[in-house]
Amino acid sequence: MMSTDTPTIVLVGHGMVGQRFLEALAGRGLTATHRVVVLCEEPRPAYDRVQLTSYFSGSTPEDLSLTDPEFLERHGIELRLGDPAETVDREARRVTARSGLVVGYDVLVLATGSYPFVPPVPNKDAEGCFVYRTIEDLLAIEEYARRSTTGAVVGGGLLGLEAAGALKGLGLTSHIVEFAPRLMPVQVDEGGGAALLRTIEDMGLSVHTGVGTQEIVVGDDGAVTGMKLSDGSELATDLVVFSAGVRPRDQLARAAGLAVGERGGVAVDEQCRTVTDPRVFAIGECALAADGRVYGLVAPGYEQAETVAATIAGDEAAFAGADLSTKLKLLGVDVASFGDAHGTAADCLDVVYADSRAGLYKKLVVGRDGTLLGGILVGDAEAYGTLKAFTGSVPPVSPESLVLPAGAGAPVQLGPSALPDDAIICSCNNVRKGTIREAVTEHHCTTVPEVKKCTKAGTTCGSCVKVLGQLLNAELEASGVEVDKGLCACFSQTREELYEIVLALRVTSYRELLDRHGREDARGGDGCEVCKPAVGSIIASLAPTIGAGTHVLDGEQAALQDTNDHFLANLQKNGSYSVVPRVPGGEIAPEKLIVIGEIARDFGLYTKITGGQRIDMFGARVEQLPLIWTRLVDAGFESGHAYGKSLRTVKSCVGQTWCRYGVQDSVRMAIDLELRYRGLRSPHKLKSAVSGCQRECAEAQSKDFGVIATASGWNLYVGGNGGATPRHADLLAQDLSDAELIRLIDRFLMFYIRTADRLERTSVWLDRIPGGLDHVRDVVVHDSLGICDELEALMAAHVAHYRDEWAETINDPEKLARFVSFVNAPDTPDPVVAFVPERDQMKPDLPLLAIGLRPADDILEGTATR
């Protein structure tokens, strides 16, 4: 019953918005003056539904959790899991839960969220049909996928694409069925949808747009066997996920007599108080705001939660609508939209940059007076934070400079320091630039984590964290504070400065470098996870010149490596490893193919042709690695360095030897380059390609250094990247002879290794380094700094001293001793590493992930004792 002493707040629902409401109550001290009871339908506390799909890439439910028992206990919050509210008696002001518990309230807050919309098609509830909304949904999908081969997702919106990616990650052939003529019809326009479609199809997913689902086809056992589509076609599938949008969960409110909108949603005013009952509030996806909208994003829900907490505390607050801008990474593709993305305003203009081959589409909507009204970014959303913050104002630079990529003739780029103070930096938590500046100047925050804790910026989706760092440094420098640009807490020098120290003083060990040049409080210590691999890479790249050991597992070097380098193989999600022998240029003799097949068969490995024209063998246990390497080395193979921050592959087409269009021998050149630069340690991985003609079949312009044949020789491109943030390479020099080409690549790579930051790809380095491409060309082509002889000598030393890491390991008993799962039981295999059959091969069996175990972490933890 209702307490007469302590007023009671009852919260119905404990999702992301509900948890933010509890935090807002605690922040205002209301948990000390009120009894707070939370009735939650799910069996677990609030978790990050925005990052839900990360469960399939290894995140556990605990990783996704947004609260902890300490918070609830500290604030006296009574959380009842699996006990949802079933009835509300507004006259008596009490709520009855499923368990029979009756709780009186002074204030009732509905945060019941939404439910997935499932189209009313025949057999929609058949075995094999799922929705994609909760962790329990994901667990059920994961279990059913074990006995499925094909999956289809109904809906091509945000969650639909995430669901399709999850099915693909589970090993299913995946389809997306979208009724609209394009994917993500709410967020992107026709051009953005086309770019997104091309990229997703290139990933191996099948997309069906402009068609609806007419019927779910079932077999004699009642399980799904296919789908009938509105165009008359039929799609074979044994698993269906409905992700066709959501609807407000307002049933409890309807039953209680609260007013709801025509299309659903509990009607509320600007304080999020229901228009029917002043003691009842509604927030999040179940609320129909005063502007007539139901907001389906987390940021507006957070703002509503803060509004209600302020109203309960007696402060003036109002929710007057919210920014619907979004930035997401779907299937590895950046997609963002902000402001008037579709250009609905009168008399507006579009500024568009599109590169369909690279999957890039950028559009800005600009008013006649130059005001930035909105935009869409697909494939590269790096400028999202800056662009969104300028929405509604006239940027200080031309619109085209904000969408053209580096290397495409764009004027000077605009940084976040140019933004006005009222610009929204973190839309999830509605944090403005001025608030971040105040965190630095008034609250004395000096690190990004301190700013995040002070302002809540960057604590939800994380897309603004990079901008936070830039604003923090700019504000510290403006205040006269010297910004620490050191590599880490152990070294005040940058990576580039440490490289010069190691080279000039011939420093051959991490311990020597730390004790002589580290920060005073770090000397004599053990270092950290940032500087150890970075210094290890520097010493490895300079080893022949400074006289250090050239094997990554020699002496102290072994302790500096991350798990992949530590075992000379790639750690996979179930704790097993993959083995990738080098196949220069993709050219391989039949005898070597047979050896790979025999090894894969004998060790039960999963085999896959990689995008770099090699064969990857997955599923090796750590103690099996030396046995596999021995057979490969005996057959003439060597390490492909798929595990290292080093050269991976030099891809090639068949060139003039076979192709009627080829004008140069691209295979020979690719093999020469790969054998020359194999084992070269660098700040990040290196990829290359050689195309035998301008048709560019090897995709050289998406590589760190790419070569394209011409009738007169070779064109050299640098700084490309085909990864999460695609970037076309820039032309460094053209019509080069073989000798000129190799000489320039030598210089370029050593200059990059010398000046790049840790974990910085050539694409990022080229955009960051002062002077950009022009400066790099001056240095490596025209020798403007007079260092080219030194760069060439460094590369020559590397080439002369290269030795295969696998061959040296299997011939060294001391190194071999580390290849066991357990030091105290070397003959015991890791019990976590298990497999199940699929498509005549095998795949990881990961049931332990569902109960919170993380095999990869267990392996990482164990390496310290091996």
In this predicted structure, the answer to whether residue 479 has a pLDDT above a threshold of 70 is yes
Whole-number pLDDT of residue 100 = 95
Flag whether 348 is marked binding.
no
What is the number of other CB atoms lying within 10 angstroms of the CB of residue 304?
A: 28
Q: How does residue 725 score in pLDDT terms, banded at 50, 70 and 90?
A: low
**Cβ neighbour number for residue 857 with a 10 Å cutoff:** 12
Token reading at 527: 């270092």
Strand pairing partners for 578? 570, 618
What SS3 class is residue 814? helix
Per-residue confidence at 53, pLDDT binned at 50, 70, 90? confident
Chain segment 130-153, per-residue pLDDT in tens: 999 999 999 999 999 999 999 999
Each residue's pLDDT tens digit, 759-774: 899 988 988 888 888 8
627 closest CA partner among 806, 843, 377, 750:
806
pLDDT for 670: 95
CA distances from 664 to 155, 669, 689, 696, 738 (A): 47, 9, 14, 12, 11
Q: 865: pLDDT confidence band, cut at 50, 70 and 90? A: very low
* Alpha carbon distance 429, 17 (integer Å): 11
Q: Note the pLDDT of residue 412.
A: 46
CA distance 661 to 165: 37
**Exposure string over 507-532, b if 16+ CB within 10 A, otherwise e:** bbbbbebbeebbbeebeeeebeebbb
Report the mean per-residue pLDDT for the chain.
Answer: 86
Residue bearing the bigger pLDDT, 616 or 412: 616
CA angle 427, 432, 437 (to 5 degrees): 140
DSSP string across 734-789: EEE-HHHHHHHHHHHHHHHHHHPPTT--HHHHHHHSTTHHHHHHHHHTT-TTS-HH
**How many Å apart are CA 51 and CA 737, to the nearest integer?**
50
pLDDT classification of 590: cutoffs 50, 70, 90:
very high
pLDDT the model gives residue 543: 87
Please identify, in words, the CATH class of the domain defined by 8-115+248-312.
alpha beta
State how far Cα 404 lies from the chain centre. Answer: 23
pLDDT above 50: residue 862: no
Helices (H), 203-348: 251-255, 298-312
Considering the chain, what percentage of its residues have pLDDT values greater than 70? 93
This prediction's pTM: 0.56
Q: What is the mean pLDDT of residues 341-362?
A: 82
| Residues 456-469: tens digit of each pLDDT | 888 776 667 777 88
pLDDT of residue 679: 92
For residue 413, pLDDT beyond 90: no
Closest CA to 715 of 723, 704, 728, 705: 705
pLDDT at 351: 86
Best-predicted range by mean pLDDT among 264-273, 361-370, 804-813?
Answer: 264-273
CATH of region 129-244, choose from 2.120.10.10, 3.40.190.10, 3.50.50.60, 3.10.20.310: 3.50.50.60
Strands 326-330 vs 333-339: parallel, antiparallel or unpaired: antiparallel
Q: Which residue has the tokens 């790809």?
A: 761
Point out the least confidently predicted range of 319-333, 551-565, 852-866: 852-866
Contact 560, 532 (CB under 8 A): yes
Please give the pLDDT value at position 680.
Answer: 94
- Choosing among 1.10.3260.10, 3.40.50.300, 3.30.230.10, 3.30.413.10, the CATH entry for 566-801 is 3.30.413.10
Sign of CA dihedral 844, 845, 847, 848: negative
Look at residue 855 and tell me whether its pLDDT is greater than 80.
no
The residue that leads in pLDDT, 26 or 55, is 26
Helix (H, G, I), strand (E, B) or coil at 213: strand
- The secondary structure of residue 415, as a DSSP letter, is P
698 or 725, which is more confident? 698
Q: Could you report the per-residue pLDDT of 622-655, keeping only the tens digit for each?
A: 899 999 999 999 999 999 999 889 999 999 999 9
Using the structure block, give the residue that is written with the tokens 């620490």: 484
pLDDT on residue 742: 97
pLDDT tops 50 at residue 861? no
What is residue 409's predicted lDDT score, i.e. its pLDDT? Answer: 46
Please give the pLDDT value at position 331.
67
Q: According to the annotation, is 531 in a ligand binding site?
A: no
Neighbours of 178 (CB within 10 A): 25
Q: Can you give the pLDDT at residue 332?
A: 65
Tell me the torsion sign for CA atoms 584, 588, 593, 594. Answer: negative
b/e sequence 467-491, b meaning 16+ C-beta within 10 Å: bbeebbbbbbeeeeeeeeebbbbbb
Structure tokens at 121: 């098609």
Any idea what the Cα angle at residue 200 is, between residues 199 and 203, rounded to 5°?
A: 95
In this prediction, residues 598-608 reach a mean pLDDT of 93
Give the integer Cα–Cα distance in Å for 484 and 437: 18
| pLDDT at residue 777 greater than cutoff 50 | yes
CA–CA gap between residue 858 and residue 575 (Å, rounded): 8
Say what angle helices 788-801 and 531-546 make with each other, to 10 degrees: 90
- Whether residue 88 contacts residue 41, with contact meaning beta carbons closer than 8 Å, is answered with no
The reply, when asked if residue 653 is annotated as ligand binding, is yes
Whole-angstrom distance, CA of residue 151 vs CA of residue 138: 14
Q: What amino acid is encoded at 81 in this protein?
A: L
Place 160 in a pLDDT band, splitting at 50, 70 and 90.
Answer: confident
Tokens coding 803: 């030795």
Question: Tens digits of per-residue pLDDT, 96-106?
Answer: 999 999 999 99
Residue 428 annotated as part of some ligand binding site: no
Domain ranges of the chain: 8-115+248-312, 129-244, 424-483, 495-549, 566-801
Q: Quickly state the pLDDT bin for 405 (edges 50, 70, 90).
A: low
Q: Which of 165, 151, 170, 235 is nearest to 203 (CA)?
A: 165
Q: Could you tell me where the DSSP H helices lie in 548-635?
A: 557-560, 563-567, 590-603, 625-634
pLDDT band at 473 (very low <50, low <70, confident <90, very high): confident
- Cβ neighbours, 10 Å, residue 202: 9
Decide if pLDDT at 18 tops 90. yes
The predicted pLDDT at position 835 comes to 79
The confidence band for 724, taking pLDDT boundaries of 50, 70 and 90, is low
One CATH from 3.40.50.300, 3.90.1750.10, 1.10.10.1100, 3.40.50.1820 for 424-483: 1.10.10.1100
pLDDT tens-digit series, residues 521-580: 888 888 888 898 899 889 988 988 888 766 777 777 777 777 788 788 888 877 888 999
CA–CA gap between residue 737 and residue 84 (Å, rounded): 74
Give the pLDDT confidence of 170-185 residue by residue, as tens digits. 889 999 999 999 888 8
Encode 100-136 in three state secondary structure. CCEEECCEEEECCCEEECCCCCCCCCCECEEECCCHH
